[in-house]
């Protein structure tokens, strides 16, 4: 649970900095910047900046890439907060269960 929370804190902090710099941090700008980052990065790369820092990646249950649709649906559900707080014995939140994805620890080659 620690790396997941750490990744979320990093992603939210970056979204906050961007939202304050470009939009004055008003209204839902932080949430919208966070969502945009998650949709693009998770949908295309399988990880956000916070995930990358903690060597985490979103994958389908079979180990394949999560893909753009999973990036969008997971992010929408994640932004509702409650799905992320309800998780199973495998630590998969409702947002992961809905898309048949899992957040796994990966090794990055250098």
pLDDT digits (tens, 9 = 90+) for 14-46: 999 999 999 998 889 999 999 999 999 999 999
**In 1-110, beta strands by DSSP E:** 56-60, 101-105
Query: Which pLDDT score, from 0 to 100, does residue 96 have?
Result: 82
Find out whether 94 and 83 touch, Cβ atoms under 8 Å: yes
pLDDT at 68 exceeding the cut of 60: yes
Name the token pair of 83. 């799905």
Query: Which pLDDT score, from 0 to 100, does residue 82 have?
Result: 65
Domain boundaries, given as residue ranges, for the chain: 2-105
CA 12 to chain centroid: 10
Find out whether 72 and 39 touch, Cβ atoms under 8 Å: yes
Q: Which pTM does this prediction carry?
A: 0.84
Torsion of CA 21, 28, 9, 68, to 10 degrees: -100
Query: Which pLDDT score, from 0 to 100, does residue 100 have?
Result: 86
């Amino acid at each position: 649970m620690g790396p997941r929370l750490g990744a979320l804190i990093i992603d939210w902090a970056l979204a906050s900095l961007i939202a304050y710099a470009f939009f004055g941090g008003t209204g839902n700008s932080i949430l919208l910047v966070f969502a945009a980052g998650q949709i693009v990065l998770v949908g295309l790369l399988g990880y956000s900046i916070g995930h990358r820092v903690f060597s985490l990646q979103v994958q389908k249950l079979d180990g394949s890439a999560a893909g753009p649709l999973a990036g969008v649906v997971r992010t929408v559900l994640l932004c509702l907060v409650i799905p992320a707080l309800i998780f199973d014995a495998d630590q998969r939140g409702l947002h992961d269960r809905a898309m048949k994805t899992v957040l796994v620890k990966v090794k990055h080659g250098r």
